[in-house]
Amino acid sequence: MQYFVVMIDYGRRGREAIVDPEITRREVIARISSGEYQSISFIHEIAEDSVEDVTEAILAEAALPDIPPEDIDLQANRLDHARDLRKHERT
């Protein structure tokens, strides 16, 4: 059996260990990417009789890609802003 333990640190409110044998590595990564899991202390992978700290590897996989400023669609932002201004003028 293999499962993951995700330890979340809430500061003064304490810590919470999320342990669910049904959650796969892919689901842990997805939950980190979506922001569901934040302030992670560590992630351990439990397999049979061994425990492995996989925190750095999973956090690296879950990291959002860096998008260079020249690839951001500024025209879309301008058009959205203009649409919002027109919408407020009508009221």
53-62 tens-digit pLDDT: 999 999 999 9
Burial 7-25 (b: 16+ CB within 10 A, else e): beeeeeeeeeebeeeeeeb
Helices and strands, counts by H and E, the chain: 3, 4
9-55 tens-digit pLDDT: 998 899 999 999 999 999 999 999 988 998 999 999 999 889 999 99
The pLDDT of residue 82: 72
- Give SS3 for 8: strand
Q: Average pLDDT of 81-86?
A: 72
